Amino acid sequence: MSDGPSYGFDTLQIHAGARPDPATGARQTPIYQTTAYVFRDAEHAAALFNLQEVGYIYSRLTNPTVAVLQERIATLEGGVGAVCCSSGHAAQIMALFPLMQPGCNVVASTRLYGGTVTQFSQTIKRFGWSAKFVDFDDLDAVRDAIDDNTRAVFGESIANPGGYITDIRAIADITDAAGVPLIIDNTSATPYLCNPISLGATLVVHSTTKYLTGNGTVTGGAIVDSGQFDWSASDKFPSLSQPEPAYHGLKFAETFGPLAFTFHSIAIGLRDLGMTMNPQAAHYTLMGIETLSLRMERHVENAMTVATWLENDPRVDYVTYAGLASSPYSARIPAVCPKGAGALFTFAVKGGYEACVKLVDSLEIFSHVANLGDTRSLIIHSASTTHRQLTPEQQEAAGAAPNVVRVSIGIENAEDLIADLDQALTRATA
């Protein structure tokens, strides 16, 4: 399919990046289950290794099945390029890698996926990087946290676990003024509900494990490049603006222009970190992405129905779903995620920690799992699981207090989900 910005989302989620297989005419994208690719001749091989010609060398770097998914995601997000990798957490490291050096920091939202809080507060220290966590609703705090060593600002569009909505435009104004890139994790919203690049994000990261695949089968991640950041405007990003010794002094920003970040992520990131997505995983995610808009519409509709029912139930203290008029975040929906506030939220159960544990054990349709973005409805008690490593203050700040459970509403019949919650709440609060 020729690219056309005129095509609608539903068309692009099926066709972008794909075409009938040139060798066989196969209509569905084949799984190119190969490690290596035969060079035409020695000159061709040399040109590929010098980055003078783009082509396939070895599947740690590039693979035709994965390439279709990369182009599909880049198109849906409105980016110039994307790089897929082995998980969402791999995508986060891959996104920071070209930007950071020892002694540098990332300014991150306090409201993040629990695993990201752990990755940023603990593991990245081993690279000599650090994170400063601030409340993204406090714009002065974000501005103040950015210092001379800040190389990125990181938040989620619809944030875990409460489904809070980030004012991406306001944060982007701050990062633009400071000359640092804004990275938005768009996992919970998906490009169907939110387009962070159109709101000023530099890079978008995904755990494709979640809604993009949509059925809980494979892990994967992606980094989408807006192509809009000038890496040479300061001396802060030498990996992209300065000569790269491993490629005879090539400068990525000068040579690849808006695609500098994407090329760096493949030629250096995947080459040396090796966090590669395999073609089978890309295949499953391509299958899922074809129905993304249909699923997201139902996810949002069900989330609204279930959240409204919960909010009116006397056994429930409060519900955080931003789609409810009672949410302080509902005013941000038109600007940030006009097609809906996603399907991820928390609710507080009267009876606290004990009642939450009983609730998750009493549900029949909802599965108690550490996942989100499945066709199936999922529930987790964050304080005893995903947010267990955090201090009580961090749990509270992250919206994962002990009396709270997080749900990821699936695409089953909403009345069945409500009946299941009803019987479980009765047992939990008996």
Binding residues for ligand PLP (CB under 6 A):
87-89, 113, 115-116, 156, 160, 185, 187-188, 207, 209-210, 219, 221, 372
Instruction: State the minimum distance, in angstroms, from the CB of residue 344 to ligand PLP.
Output: 8
Nearer to ligand PLP, 185 or 244 (CB): 185
**E strands, 62-142, where?**
81-85, 105-109, 130-134
CB of 171 to ligand PLP, least distance (A): 16
Q: Name the residue nearer to ligand PLP (CB basis): 350 or 376.
A: 376
Tell me whether residue 55 or residue 274 sits nearer to ligand PLP (CB atom): 274
Q: How far is the CB of 378 from ligand PLP (least distance, A)?
A: 11
Q: In angstroms, what is the minimal distance from the CB of 85 to ligand PLP?
A: 9
Structure token digits, residue 78: 């409105």
Q: What is the distance between the alpha carbons of residues 255 and 263, in angstroms, rounded to a whole number?
A: 10
Q: CB of 229: closest distance to ligand PLP in angstroms?
A: 21
Specify the 3-state DSSP secondary structure of 31.
coil
Helix (H) or strand (E) holding 282: helix 279-289
Q: CB nearer to ligand PLP: give 187 or 293.
A: 187
Judged by beta carbon, residue 63 or residue 190, the one nearer ligand PLP is 190
For ligand PLP, the closer CB: 156 or 167: 156
Distance of closest approach, residue 90 Cβ to ligand PLP, in angstroms? 7
Nearer to ligand PLP, 113 or 136 (CB): 113
d(CA 157, CA 168): 7
CA distance 171 to 167: 7
Q: What are phi and psi of 158, to 5 degrees?
A: -110, 110
Helix extents (H) in 242-345:
252-256, 260-264, 271-273, 279-289, 292-311, 333-336
| DSSP character at residue 242 | S
The token duo for 191 is: 């490009």
Residue 154 pairs with which residues in a beta bridge? 108, 183
d(CA 1, CA 12): 9
In sequence order, what are the beta bridge partners of 221? 85, 207
Residue 298 Cβ vs ligand PLP, minimum distance, rounded to whole Å: 19
CB 377 within 8 Å of CB 366: yes
Nearer to ligand PLP, 89 or 295 (CB): 89
Nearer of residues 207 and 377 to ligand PLP, judged by Cβ:
207
DSSP secondary structure letter of residue 373:
S
User: Using CA atoms, how far apart are residues 380 and 378, in angstroms rounded to an integer?
Assistant: 7
Nearest to 157 by CA among 180, 123, 184: 184
Tell me the residue nearest to ligand PLP as measured from the CB: 88
Cα distance between residue 330 and residue 340, in whole Å: 10
| Nearer to ligand PLP among residue 204 and residue 253 (C-beta) | 204
CB of 188 to ligand PLP, least distance (A): 5
Q: Which of 72, 74, 64 is nearest to 12 (CA)?
A: 72
SS3 assignment, position 132: strand
Spatial distance between the Cα atoms of 252 and 240, rounded to a whole number of angstroms: 5
Q: Residue 74 CB, nearest distance to ligand PLP (Å)?
A: 18
Question: Residue 87 CB, nearest distance to ligand PLP (Å)?
Answer: 3
Q: Is 388 helix (H, G, I), strand (E, B) or coil?
A: coil
Start-to-end CA span in the chain (Å):
58
